[in-house]
Amino acid sequence: MSPEEMLKSFPDQLQWEKTDIDRSLYRTITFCGMGGSGIVGDIAKSWLEHRGCNVVAISHRGYGLPNYVNGEEHLVICTSYSGNTEETISNFETAMKRDATVICISSGGKLEELAKKSGVLHLKVPSGFAPRYALGYMLSKILTLLGVEKDELEDAKENLKTSYEEIKKKGEEIANKLNGYIPIIYATPLTEACAFRWKTQINENSKTQAYFATLPEMHHNEVVGLDNAEIRSKCAFIVMFDLKDHERVRRRVDITIRLLKDLGIVPVAIGGDGNSYLARLLYLIHVGDWASYYLAGKYGFEPLPVKVIDWIKEELLKL
Ligand code: F6R
């Protein structure tokens, strides 16, 4: 399947299933995963928090687990598209040792084997994709586990489908603006997961550096870096927001745009379009996915290969 076909399949990857768990049984939820599989935890965490869920949720990247994850009242969701990512396997093994409640998501690999051997719930996603292009499959497994309503997921999916041309067009326009510059994405707490996804999609698909910072924290440091005219002239700026951002954050978004304009920079200001927070998140993510795809073309790169990531994984297997 071509990267374009994989991208196009994103809305249809969103499939609701009746697999919800009783969240009241857990004191914490730890989403584990790296890269294209790790981002699903960030999105799920944002979605849970926006719903007002009172369970502590964290997105954990790296080996082991925080010490407080100890006992069955702690839910650990291990997501690895390939099922072979060593950090995620390490999370699984630690969670099992600590008697946490574990759920695994993968298209196969070691994680599936280990889950089955240990009698742990394993949710399988279709194989044949690059992990970052299978976001919809992995995310809908997690959201349905967490109790997303069928209507909410269907509405977000429909929103992507009806806005398909508009999303692609925005992606292409943004790619034109980013071409030749280092993308710097300024986000709000509600759009931070989107900014991270944009950054990583630009890294992996377009093969270029990209960075992000989040309000309000960036008003206490990042903005001072804008004083450097030489460096800022090498950057293209994106400001993203959500209509449900805290009112003081919205005020800060306006101030940030004004600050950039006063420096002669016209940032791309973008919010997601949709009826629900989830619909807007997925809309914004999909604009970034297309932008990174078009940007790859402008730089003459194939979006799919991530040779250096593969090389590092092979090197680690030797040790
Ligand atoms: C490749 C990609 C990577 C992987 C990451 C973890 O498309 O996006 O960021 O997602 O190396 O691998 P998995 O997802 O197989 O656990």
pLDDT recorded at residue 18: 83
> Which tokens hold the place of 43?
């999105």
Q: What is the position in ligand 1's atom list of the atom closest to the CA of 309?
A: 11
Pocket test for ligand 1, best of 6, 7, 31, 37 (most atoms within 8 A of CB): 37
238: nearest Cα among 214, 216, 221: 214
Tell me which of 60, 80, 86, 309 to substitute to probe ligand 1's pocket, judged by most ligand atoms within 8 Å of the beta carbon.
309
Other CB atoms within a 10 A radius of the CB of residue 214 amount to: 20
Q: Is residue 109 lining ligand 1, measured as CB closer than 6 Å?
A: no
Nearest CA, atom 1, ligand 1 = 131
* Beta carbon of 295 within 6 Å of any ligand 1 atom: no
Residue spans of beta strands (DSSP E) within 118-217: 121-124, 182-187, 211-214
All domains of the chain in start order, with CATH: 3-152 (3.40.50.10490), 162-299 (3.40.50.10490)
Blockwise average pLDDT, block size 10, the chain, 319 residues: 96 90 92 98 97 94 98 98 98 98 98 98 97 98 95 98 98 98 98 98 98 98 98 98 98 98 98 98 98 98 97 93
Active site residue 73: no
Task: Return the ligand 1 atom nearest residue 131 CA.
Answer: 7
Residue nearest to atom 15 of ligand 1 (CA): 82
List Cβ neighbours of 225 (8 Å cut-off, separation of 6 or more). Answer: 231, 232
Residue 313 is a catalytic residue: yes
Tell me if 88 CB under 6 Å of ligand 1.
Answer: yes
Please work out whether the CB of residue 35 comes within 6 Å of at least one atom of ligand 1.
yes
What ligand 1 atom has the least distance to the C-alpha of 37?
14
| Spacing, Cα 261 to ligand 1 middle (Å) | 37
Helix (H, G, I), strand (E, B) or coil at 290: helix
Q: How many CB atoms lie within 10 A of CB 202?
A: 26
220 is catalytic: yes
Closest to 243 (Cα-Cα) out of 212, 211, 284: 284
CA distance 293 to 5: 12
Q: What is the pLDDT of residue 21?
A: 83
Token pair 């730890």: residue: 30
- Ligand 1 midpoint to CA 145 (Å): 22
Please state, in angstroms and rounded to a whole number, the distance separating the CA atoms of residues 294 and 288.
10
| pLDDT for the residue 20 | 67
